[in-house]
Structure 1
Amino acid sequence: MQLSRYQGANFSSAANDQLPISFEEWKERARLILAKAPFDYIEGGAGSEDTIAANEKAFKCWRIRPRMMIDVSHRNLSVSMFNHTFPSPILLAPIGAQSIFHVQAELASAKAAASTKTPFIVSYVSSYTIEEIAAEMGDAVRWFQLYIGRDWDVTASLLHRAEKAGYSAIVVTVDLPLYGWRERDYRNAYFPYSQGIGLSNYTSDPVFMFKLSKIPGGNPQDMIALFFRNLLNPSLTWKDLASLRKLTNLPILLKGILHPEDAKLALNYGADGIIVSNHGGRQVDGAVAALDALPEIYHAVQGQVPVLMDSGIRRGADVIKALSLGAAAVLIGRPYVYGLAAAGEKGVRRVIKNLISDLDLTMANIGKRTTRELHQYDLVKQ
């Protein structure tokens, strides 16, 4: 039996350390380790969680049609974006407050990302600061997620800190004007940010702390209230993207786009990339599956900027389907957080390596040598 170059390292270690293999096994291990509230926080979604189900169903509706008798002895999974080449089309999505899953939080995820040369999109609401996470990654590629708050002074300060700390792109999440109706979190009365978890970038920010000092009292509840006034911005418009564009020369990607007309507007207002996403089903109950939205957005953009995709990626076949439908790369969220909860840095690294191995083997078995060879005609819709 010949192993892929990605699979070989995993094959021997997997037999020795008893870590999970499949997404479902990682999730179950995390369920056993975490308290109910933090587990529900990451597993759950908006309302009836119909959007989470739709994300998973969308992948099952597409079937891969393999080709045979092609020399696949040498394969290359690399992708290039924004003057960087990555060894695989997989990135770690921004997930906040990771200390609720593991004591090392984003530091563990950052180390795992760096060791596998996987770009890490660091959350705006991380448990460790922008600078602390950057220090763990060295020269490894990292992007910074940004919410455009109502206070432009704070937004500009966080943006400039990310630039100084070596982040090479900005991911603006646009699908959270207000928190979605997340029934599990309401049932558990669990909101990490209201407990001050995930606010490290704020409490370390001189502009934010100066503004907090001007509030009479300045107690922890005032800090949390000021944080929420800056995080949630229901008045956000396309003009704000144009204003942000003036503050940085870094590439700006918009995360949360599901409509082709919004993709066109994003280009008009200066976006350098688009991430098709429904926030993993956490914002709108009954929303369109991200994979279903991807082809229309890909065609609307017409190759002017990279189109990435998240929400529902679990296995190598899912990555292939997303790339075939137009994604330049994909983001994973819940899979690596379950790995983090189960085994810290080692768990995140194993999740990444397993997914890359799965992708590599599946590519070989469908007759593809590079991700650029994947096209929609490799799929059949059922």
Structure 2
Amino acid sequence: MPPFSSFQDEIYLHGLLTGEAPPFGTDPAGLEDAARERMSPEAYGYVAGGAGTGATMRANRAAFGRRALVPRMLRDVGVRDLSCTLFGTRLPAPLLLAPVGVMSIVHPDAEPAAARAAAGLGLPTVLSTASSTTLEEVAEASGDGPRWFQLYWPKDRDVTVSLLQRARAAGYTALVVTLDTWLLGWRPRDLDRAHLPFLRRIGIANYLSDPAFLAGLAKPVEEDPLAAVAHWAGMFADPTKTWEDLAFLREHWDGPIVLKGVLHPDDARRARDAGMDGVVVSNHGGRQVDGAVAALDALPAVAGAVGEEITVLFDSGVRTGSDILKALALGARAVLVGRPYVHGLALGGEAGVRHVLRCLLAEFDLSLALTGHTGPTGLDPGLLAPPLPG
């Protein structure tokens, strides 16, 4: 298999032979601008928006900017191996597709298109509970590709158990439990348009296809859609959950469980002590709490708190291959990417997602080599200069 960096050679050679530029751009900012032109204002606002003033989103990017890579010279980097192993599954690179809901507002092919693109590269898709398409349909699109299921933990225990059983039956191997969205954050872009897709039955396909959920309705969804939405809204999340409730999930899920939204080292320790298998250091891409700590700034302390005892993953603010390298150097075993692949989806469905992922992998491969490294194993903070003042 050629190195991921060969995508660069492919682009240049195609240009030489045909005179054509790639169908999609390679600069993250340019991709976002182009995607914005393809999306409705409501869809772009939903994807791009953050909590409050957007301070946390800006902090995520600023945290990457404060950390500089320090390349090392005259090391043999001719052969590189970007693979990693997560929960017993070997992956070609330490990259996963983050759970992003309601993708049908971005492109009609929605989550299945993203899943096919990821599977084609051997990368895991982490499917959101709030997907526009049922988890079974996305599993079918994934084929033999690795897939994880993200849970927005409902109040209704029967619905929770039913979702978990469906996910296991459909071949999802790991459970990612989002902890930072018991309530929706204050999101002005959506509020100013009075736009919440779920109220239009977008992003609740997994509920509307769930027997335990449907059992709680007095009438079929088609006969009383507003009642179905109200039923969903009443159980979407439960702000009364505590650490003690994790035992219920362990009872009903026999695979790895990862807690997403951990920013404090004490919470990482509590996850470990509760028998969880991993955490995702994440502030939900800045969508939940305005003025929260940048996820990258929180990563070293969380990774230091649990060491190798549980798996530490990272999410929030990743835009480039160099970003992936920095997160790995600060203690993450792998990185989840969100908005960039959604931009690719908006531009070209499956082909657009694949393009974005290949760009990230190529730049990550090149950045590894150009800093004197041959793979993610053994990366540490010594790869980075001391952080610049904030």
The aligned residue for residue 166 of structure 1 is: 171
Structure 1 consecutive aligned stretches of length 4 or more whose deviation exceeds 2 Å: 2-18, 213-218
Give the secondary structure class of the aligned counterpart of 2:148: strand
The C-alpha deviation readout for 1:86-130, integer Å capped at 9, x for no partner, is 111111000001000000000110110111111100010111111
Report the AA paired with residue 73 of structure 2: M
Deviates more, 1:59-68 or 1:219-228: 219-228
The aligned residue for residue 199 of structure 1 is: 204
Query: 1:347–1:265: structure 2 CA closer, same or farther, 3 Å change rule?
Result: same
Give matches, 1:227-376, under 5 Å: 227-376=232-381
Question: 8 Å contact 2:299–2:314 — kept in the other structure?
Answer: yes
Query: 1:229–1:270: structure 2 CA closer, same or farther, 3 Å change rule?
Result: farther
The aligned residue for residue 102 of structure 2 is: 97
Could you tell me how far apart the structure 1 residues matched to 2:222 and 2:368 are?
60
Asked if residue 4 in structure 1 is aligned to residue 18 in structure 2, the reply is no
Could you tell me how far apart the structure 2 residues matched to 1:11 and 1:361 are?
15
For these two proteins, the number of residue pairs brought into alignment is: 381
Could you tell me how far apart the structure 1 residues matched to 2:161 and 2:285 are?
27
Could you tell me how far apart the structure 2 residues matched to 1:78 and 1:165 are?
25
The C-alpha deviation readout for 1:237-273, integer Å capped at 9, x for no partner, is 1111111111111100000001111111111112111
Question: 8 Å contact 1:46–1:281 — kept in the other structure?
Answer: yes
Asked if residue 119 in structure 1 is aligned to residue 120 in structure 2, the reply is no
Could you tell me how far apart the structure 2 residues matched to 1:203 and 1:215 are?
10
Could you tell me how far apart the structure 2 residues matched to 1:62 and 1:216 are?
51
Question: 8 Å contact 2:97–2:338 — kept in the other structure?
Answer: yes
Question: 8 Å contact 2:11–2:21 — kept in the other structure?
Answer: no
List runs of 5+ in structure 1 lacking aligned partners: none
Could you tell me how far apart the structure 2 residues matched to 1:284 and 1:136 are?
34
Report the AA paired with residue 257 of structure 1: V
Report the AA paired with residue 127 of structure 1: S
Could you tell me how far apart the structure 1 residues matched to 2:4 and 2:283 are?
36
Query: 1:85–1:239: structure 2 CA closer, same or farther, 3 Å change rule?
Result: same
Give the secondary structure class of the aligned counterpart of 2:215: helix
Question: 8 Å contact 1:144–1:162 — kept in the other structure?
Answer: yes
Report the AA paired with residue 244 of structure 2: K
> Normalising to structure 2: TM-score of the pair?
0.95
Give the secondary structure class of the aligned counterpart of 1:246: helix
Could you tell me how far apart the structure 2 residues matched to 1:218 and 1:264 are?
48
Q: CA deviation at 1:279?
A: 0.2
Question: 8 Å contact 2:208–2:221 — kept in the other structure?
Answer: no
List runs of 5+ in structure 2 lacking aligned partners: none
Give the secondary structure class of the aligned counterpart of 1:323: helix
Could you tell me how far apart the structure 2 residues matched to 1:108 and 1:245 are?
31
Query: 1:100–1:13: structure 2 CA closer, same or farther, 3 Å change rule?
Result: farther
The C-alpha deviation readout for 1:199-229, integer Å capped at 9, x for no partner, is 1111111111011137999721111111122
The aligned residue for residue 128 of structure 1 is: 133
Q: CA deviation at 1:3?
A: 9.2
The aligned residue for residue 46 of structure 2 is: 41
Could you tell me how far apart the structure 2 residues matched to 1:153 and 1:214 are?
19
Report the AA paired with residue 364 of structure 2: L
The C-alpha deviation readout for 1:317-355, integer Å capped at 9, x for no partner, is 111110000000000000000000011100000000000
The C-alpha deviation readout for 1:53-74, integer Å capped at 9, x for no partner, is 0000000111111110001000
The C-alpha deviation readout for 1:347-381, integer Å capped at 9, x for no partner, is 00000000000001111110000111311011112
Question: 8 Å contact 2:318–2:337 — kept in the other structure?
Answer: yes
Q: CA deviation at 1:8?
A: 3.2
Could you tell me how far apart the structure 2 residues matched to 1:197 and 1:266 are?
32
Q: CA deviation at 1:4?
A: 3.3
Give the secondary structure class of the aligned counterpart of 2:68: strand
Could you tell me how far apart the structure 2 residues matched to 1:11 and 1:99 are?
33
Query: 1:146–1:67: structure 2 CA closer, same or farther, 3 Å change rule?
Result: same
Could you tell me how far apart the structure 1 residues matched to 2:23 and 2:156 are?
48
Question: 8 Å contact 1:148–1:236 — kept in the other structure?
Answer: no
The two structures, once aligned, show a CA RMSD in angstroms of 1.7
Could you tell me how far apart the structure 2 residues matched to 1:320 and 1:340 are?
24
Report the AA paired with residue 284 of structure 1: V
Deviates more, 1:202-211 or 1:5-14: 5-14
Report the AA paired with residue 344 of structure 1: G
Give the secondary structure class of the aligned counterpart of 2:309: coil
Report the AA paired with residue 143 of structure 2: G
Report the AA paired with residue 4 of structure 1: S
Deviates more, 1:230-239 or 1:255-264: 230-239
Give the secondary structure class of the aligned counterpart of 1:254: strand
Query: 1:316–1:17: structure 2 CA closer, same or farther, 3 Å change rule?
Result: closer
Asked if residue 87 in structure 1 is aligned to residue 88 in structure 2, the reply is no
Question: 8 Å contact 2:214–2:220 — kept in the other structure?
Answer: no
Could you tell me how far apart the structure 2 residues matched to 1:83 and 1:3 are?
23
